[in-house]
Amino acid sequence: MKTPELQRYRDAERMNHWLVVLLFALAALSGLAFFHPSLYFLSAALGGGVWARILHPFIGAAMFCSFLGLFVRLWRENVVNAADREWLRRSPVLLQGDKAVMPPVGKYNAGQKVVFWLLAACLLTLFVTGVMFWQPWFANAFPIALRRVAVLLHAVAAVGLILTVIVHVYAAIWVKGTLRAMTRGTVSATWARQNHAQWYQETTRKP
């Protein structure tokens, strides 16, 4: 028998998410191409070195703005509370595969919330520091010493973002039945009961 489905994301939220993913892929490929000569071939994704150099900052700014769309929709559901701290304390047991000992969670578990805020922090840092050395538009407004710090922080935030996205994608694949939340917008009731019991209760209680 087919299990009932619950709506997890609306169409606009899913389109917003996949736009961020597309822009992230293009920004990451072109950014990595500038990172080290051995990765320069990745600039081909945007039509070669010159185009990658021109487009990377615009794509980065577009990624930041589209993430802002997701952020505005979702930040309230990602506020970390006392139950999340307890969840984090018990999380080593979860990694061993024992879900039963975990406290019931709402729409997002504490791990997802931490990932959410890390993504937001990395993207904000990338945007602010990127603007500070964006030639020829804004860079001249900042002293060279500040721009050097900005370049360093930009690289650190980029590595942080890529690592956080790897964790995010791994978790989305690892917890079976999660991917369809972002592809179809729905999840099975069983998935919701097992992984987000509190959210399941709230959603099914609604008239």
Q: Angle 110-132/82-95 helices, nearest 10 degrees?
A: 100
N-terminal to C-terminal alpha carbon distance within the chain? 24
157 lines the binding site for ligand HEM (CB under 6 A): no
Q: Which of 6, 32, 150, 181 binds ligand HEM (CB under 6 A)?
A: 181
User: What is the SS3 assignment for the chain?
Assistant: CCCCEEECCCHHHHHHHHHHHHHHHHHHHHHHHHHCHHHHHHHHHHCCHHHHHHHHHHHHHHHHHHHHHHHHHHHHHHCCCHHHHHHHHHHHHHHCCCCCCCCCCCCCCHHHHHHHHHHHHHHHHHHHHHHHCCCCCCHHHCCHHHHHHHHHHHHHHHHHHHHHHHHHHHHHHHCCCCHHHHHCCEEEHHHHHHHCHHHHHHHHHCC
x-marked contacts with ligand HEM along 11-50 as a string, rule CB under 6 A: ------x--xx--x--------------------------
Considering only residues 58 to 87 of the shown chain, the ones binding ligand HEM according to CB under 6 A are 67, 70, 74, 78
The full length of the chain comes to 207
Torsion of CA 11, 13, 18, 21, to 10 degrees: 180
Only one of the segments 30-38, 80-88, 131-139, 161-169 lies at the binding site for ligand HEM (rule: CB under 6 A); that segment is 161-169
Residue 118 Cβ vs ligand HEM, minimum distance, rounded to whole Å: 10
Q: Which is nearer to ligand HEM, 24 or 133 (CB)?
A: 24
Only one of the segments 33-41, 52-60, 79-87, 172-180 lies at the binding site for ligand HEM (rule: CB under 6 A); that segment is 172-180
Question: Which one of 17, 36, 154, 168 is the catalytic residue?
Answer: 168
Residue 27 Cβ vs ligand HEM, minimum distance, rounded to whole Å: 10
x-marked contacts with ligand HEM along 106-125 as a string, rule CB under 6 A: --x---xx--x--x------
179 lines the binding site for ligand HEM (CB under 6 A): yes
178 lines the binding site for ligand HEM (CB under 6 A): yes
154 lines the binding site for ligand HEM (CB under 6 A): no
Active site residue 168: yes
| Residues designated as active site | 168
Which residues sit at the interface with ligand HEM, rule CB under 6 A?
8, 17, 20-21, 24, 67, 70, 74, 78, 108, 112-113, 116, 119, 165, 168-169, 172, 178-179, 181-182
